[in-house]
Amino acid sequence: MDIRKRMLHPFARRFFAGTALEDAVIRARAVNAQGMGVTLDFLGEDVTDTREAESAMQEYSRAIGAIAKEHLDASLAIKLTHIGLDIGREVAEQNALTLIESARGLGVFVWVDMEGSEHTDDTVGIYKTLIERYPGAAGLAVQAYLKRTRADLKVLVESGAKLRLVKGAYREPPEKALQDMYGIRARFLAMMSYLFANSANFAIGTHDRGLIQKGLAMSIGSRGMPEFQMLMGMRDDLKRSLVKKGLRVIEYVPYGSDWYGYGMRRLKEKRRNVLYFMQGLFGR
């Protein structure tokens, strides 16, 4: 392990389960014991080599099998660039269909993570194919800060999608995404309100206490109560308080050897991620 990794590892270790699937399973059992569900995330993205995409497929398949075998309260998150989107849309779509078919047969739900805006069209398109072929078997993350998401939201809800609403963390140009946090939070609130009014099954992915409190207020008299999804190592006190209220809380559990790249990308994408991680350390 080089000097940079040695320096980052003690800090980053709080936010990922370990390098092996077995580490993630151990974490998942512990989280389940606290009354929370889990989403396993095998780290990796931006694959351009067919062998790497095949290796990722094998690991995702192992994770699906482990979730079923261990009877975990867990879903799986996948990134389309991890299974070949940068090689070709057809490659990623076929691989995603293969994973969804396998997961569905074992009763495992799959989330498709949203990536940078250069991949949004393909990600939304592939996701639509997934739920047309396998209704109810997969969910999709949507990013509130992207200017296109308001239109995507309506189409996706009408298509029967299960959505996870997040603020968005990738560095995007002003013509594609809102840049100020005030505007992003306002957009998030508007989209959350739309989901409460039009969807009975969705997730809120944020560590923002204010947005969560507003979501709880919106839930009164709504069609359903969303899941509240947060990253491993972040807002543990808030997770526990929501569980005590009888709410469905999901912890996002990353694992894999790409932990250094994952951590550095998250910190580089937006400066406020540094603040989020520091707040997470102190449970704020």
Rg (CA), the chain: 18
**pLDDT tens for residues 203-259?**
999 999 999 999 999 998 887 789 999 999 889 999 999 999 999 999 999 999 887
Is 14 labeled as catalytic in the residue annotation? no
Question: Amino acid identity, residue 210?
Answer: G
Q: How many CA atoms lie within 13 A of 35 on its CB side?
A: 12
Per the residue annotation, which of 27, 41, 152, 164 is the catalytic one? 164
> What are the pLDDT digits (tens) for 80-105?
999 999 999 999 999 999 999 999 99
Long-range contacts of 158-161 (CB under 8 A, 24+ apart): 159/128, 159/131, 160/131, 160/135, 160/136, 161/127, 161/131
> Could you tell me the CA-to-CA distances from 105 to 40, 155, 191, 206 in Å, in that order?
18, 27, 32, 30
Is residue 164 annotated as a catalytic residue, yes or no?
yes
pLDDT band at 260, cuts 50/70/90? confident
Calculate mean pLDDT across residues 48-65.
98
Top CATH class, 3-281: alpha beta
Domain segments of the chain as ranges? 3-281
Task: Please check the confidence at residue 135 and state whether its pLDDT lies above 70.
Answer: yes
Query: What pLDDT is recorded for position 267?
Result: 56
Can you give the pTM of this predicted structure? Answer: 0.91
Catalytic residue among 113, 122, 152, 208: 113
